[in-house]
Structure 1
Amino acid sequence: MSKENYVWAWKDDDGVYVNTAKSLEAIVEEIIEFYKEDEIEELTVELNDQIIDISFFEDGNETEWEIKAVPWVVAKFLQDLAGDCGHEDWFDIKEIEAESNRADTFEIEKI
Structure 2
Amino acid sequence: MKLAVTAQGKDLDAALDPRFGRCQYFIIIDLDAGEHEAVVNKYSTEAGGAGVQCAQLLADYGIDVLVTGKVGPKAARALEEAGIEVYTMASGTVREATEAYREGKLAKA
Q: TM-score, normalised by structure 2?
A: 0.29
Larger radius of gyration: 1
Higher share of residues assigned strand: 1
Q: TM-score, normalised by structure 1?
A: 0.29
- The structure, 1 or 2, with the larger RCO (C-alpha pairs under 8 Å, 6+ apart) is 2
